A and B are shown apart, each in its own frame.
Chain A
Amino acid sequence: MKSIFNQRSLLWLASLLALIGAYTAIASAAARPDLIPPSQDIAEAFSALVSGPSAKPAPGEMPAAEMSGHAHHHHGRSTDQVDTLLQAGVTLQASLGVSTLRVLFGLAVGLPLGILFGLWMGWSRRADDYLHPIYVLVRSVPPLALITYIMLWLGHSEAHRLIPIVYAVAVTAVIPTYHGVRDLAAKYLVAARSLGARGSLLLNKVILPAAGPAVLGGLRYSIAIAWMTAVGAEMLMADDGMGNLLVGGGMWASRLQTRSDPAVIIVGVIALAAAGWAMDAVAQAATARLTRWVR
């Protein structure tokens, strides 16, 4: 058993190293740092974004580096995007922190909403009949399409970034809960009811334990969709967070207009993947603990 595990992790590690190696080889073969930045550029962009504005060169030196153009900036990481971000005081860790908070807020508000709604629709045939068509309509609207409309109502504030995340999480959390309750209805509910269980006893001892695994299973999707929505909302209208870092700082119109630096974007994408992975791992561990009794 142990040897299999070792072999597996060896292959995994080998593949990861091959991934990095292949990237480095392709980057140096392509010799186009403006498209495929060499690993060293990515590392420099990373350290520039982590250490923040204090580490950037003195203002006097900057224009010269900027003038030299984008195709051949081998000395230091002074590209438009890094400069714009550093001037705005953006750091990687602060951006990631803000985005994480938004995602957590979306989960904290959206999950209970979605789960309650799912429980209600799964539990009551009548509620299902009336609410399901409306739910299908609501579910079909991509949350980020609403962002401008929400902004008209609530003004330019944190609300129009948070509401789409809450909306996306809630809509996603409904489905597994609904099916969890639905599936158990046939099996246990009839038995429990015929034995006289009602009200809170039924809810606490039958419905919640039986639907729990399905509800928690949906958590992974909710986390993924929350990150996606948060990044999208920040790309569209925010002056902080990972989405803002990816599109290069600055606010409002003509996003993506600053000449993007792929090294910065790759750093951002790796950071997002790591954050998403970490949050998923926590959710998985929590799920395993909470549903230990299932097996």
Chain B
Amino acid sequence: MVKVGPGGLRRIRRTVQFAALFIANGYWPGLGRAEIYSGPAKGVCVPFLNCYSCPAALFACPLGSIQSLLAAARTLSVYVGGMMLAAGFAVGRLFCGWLCPFGLLQDALALPRARQVRIPRWIRAFKYVLLALVIVLPVAWVSAGVGVPFYCKFFCPAGTLEGGLVLVLGRPEIRVNIGWLFAWKVAVLALFLGLMPFVYRVFCRTACPLGAFYGLFNQVSLWRVERDRGRCKSCGSCEEICPVGVPVTKNPNHTECIRCLECTKACPYGALVFTVMEARNHKVKLEL
């Protein structure tokens, strides 16, 4: 078996991220015509953020779907919720690190120094507030008889980039309808784009409700990072390489971990492995 180091793993991850980008957004004719795909695959939710109003999108976004069903029918979708639950219990936040196209954009824009920037806990906690609002507001905030898909409408920068901007540029009849709301959303997108080179995964760490949800499962997912206490010398190599500031030696399955798995390759003693959960008693720490 060929051994890869952290750099090799990063290249493999980048390849997988690009593959996910092109598979999830494989409707190329849609980009040229600014028309969205409406075939049967659109009923399938991918487990990561991918705006279904993007003309190239082949699948549905779980956040958009869960909000629009809450807004229209006042019912929490067990189909989308079940998918998110199964995905979270399977691999936790692995989707953020390996599949999410908006995560790929953030990786591509990040300067090397961005990996050293730490974000205060109270700012990181903002994504949990957004997660709660994603569920509450489409039911509680009703306008003209239907609920408001709050996150998509007022916040999601991925939707603005993948859906909003492409449609506004490609469709004159949509362009004439833009107003203050669209300007606000472009400002939110610009804020995150401006921060991305300087703070690694700034959106994932502060404002992604889906990442917040999956992060809650990092500790209890089937596949997780296991630390061999016998081998670990607490040298700190894992914490040094971690791009999101996880205290790996204390809690390798921290809620902030996006499972890039570079720590498992950086450990000189082979003390960290990403594997199916240990069958023996397992202590769980839920640290936000």
State whether these chains interact.
Answer: no
Residues on A facing B (Cβ under 8 Å): none
Chain B residues within CB distance 8 Å of chain A: none
